[in-house]
Chain A
Amino acid sequence: MATATIPSISEATLSPGGGLFAPPQSKKPVYTVRDVSAARPQAVRLAYREASPAKQPKHVLFAASYNPRLRIIRAIPVELSRRQGQFQARFKAADEFGVGPSMSMALEDLGKTLADLFIGLSEKRDRLGHDLLGLHARLSHYIAFRDER
């Protein structure tokens, strides 16, 4: 399939009649010489800075389930803090917490604790004081048993 070659402005030349005509195609390479002596590029120094550490979030929404009997029906708002080299993840509404040497381990501890607590409260439901009954109700906004669909 033949393709028409459109000459660029620099390649095109005016014919004696004033029309544009393309120079004959040549297989010879074309070299252009540029004088770079006048404008010598300035030396550039690259300085590498150590990336500033990512800021630790103070709040996260947490929805990992650590017990196959349970499912998380709403993300749990968690406060994160660091004390004495330990990370603490706290679910304030339930006064429950997880601790660990890293943020993810503190969150994992909290997730497992919440799962244990929810199951424990559900099993003891008929014997709970009103404060723990309230806690169970608050947890039920976020956690449910899988068979309770």
Chain B
Amino acid sequence: MNNFFFNSKRINFLFLAIVSCLLIFFLFQTKELKQKIEANIFKVSTVDVLSIVSNTAKSLVKDLSKSDDFVKDIQSNTLLRKKIEEKLEVLITKNIQYAYILYKDNEGIFRFLADGSKTENKAFLNQKFDVDSRVWLDVYVEKKEILINHEILKTLSLTYIIPLLHNNEVELLMVIDFSLKKVENINSIIYFMQNGIIGILVVFLFLLVIVVLQMLKYNKVKKTAYIDHLTNVYNKNYLLKNQNNINLKHYSLSVLDIDHFKNVNDTYGHSVGDIILKKTAQIVSRTLRISNDDIVIRYGGEEFIIFIKKSKDYPDISLEVLNRILENIANHSFLISELKSINITVSIGINLNPANSNNLFEAFELADQALYTAKNSGRNNIQIYQEKQNVTC
């Protein structure tokens, strides 16, 4: 089947492709949106905490302002260490799991100098601390705070490292570990939003599937309405529906009629007549198949209308195709029973320039006149309509 249904299939496919692309785009956008929201929520929810921690760090540096060697003084002065640990202890909340101060020894190993944790989790003075990333060393180079996002550690989400400077050199690291609870709270908000968006997309997809199914159903019904059940070519309804859609400038219009079809029906019965009609339509369609833009319509009874697409490179294409149809039908043996076959012929009238007429039906009338001439010229021939006279092909 060509033209109308072919185009509607193409439109459906295009529609589905565009919608699928849009859905994929929205899905990726959701992911990106999630990341943006996550970053913003993190920023908003940690900014105050980080400011407080930074202020504590400044306060600690102030406490150590008279010290020439932070590490030695804290190691040797128990009271100073206790004071620092009290300040660190204040920072520990539901969301901040650990607050501690580290130093790097001569061998480059990190060790605890003060710990705000309670007795159970409290690290010993000078206890070795294995860091989990090289980023910790970068603080000594950058001399700036750094925020580490943990993905592997089971109970920690973020680590905030603040360098404590002495003579513009990093002497100590103040470290804050955020518990997972902080991230879990933020993530629960994000997941809620993300699930909402995905839910809307799923509902949209569901509705879309229903629309597509309805479209397919509608097309199927429409196709049934426009296809002749016996011959499987278009019927008169199709012609009526698309009379304004067929651009007559691009086609020649031919009318084909089976010769002596009434005799066939009268002699062999209507079932044989149906076989002849079916086979004739098949031969016409198969002959036209070289060009997908051609249209065959069973106009009524044993009469078919054929629209053959014109070719600029090959002006005689319509006549050549019609000649092939004429020959193929004439040479075909129509099997009407297991043992018997008959031969039939067709007559064809063609209007090479239907666009010269006011409308399709006027153009059809002219082709029909040529057909009438063909019938009167002994049948099994093609007549071309030309103004005031017909030309035999």
Q: Do A and B come from one complex?
A: no
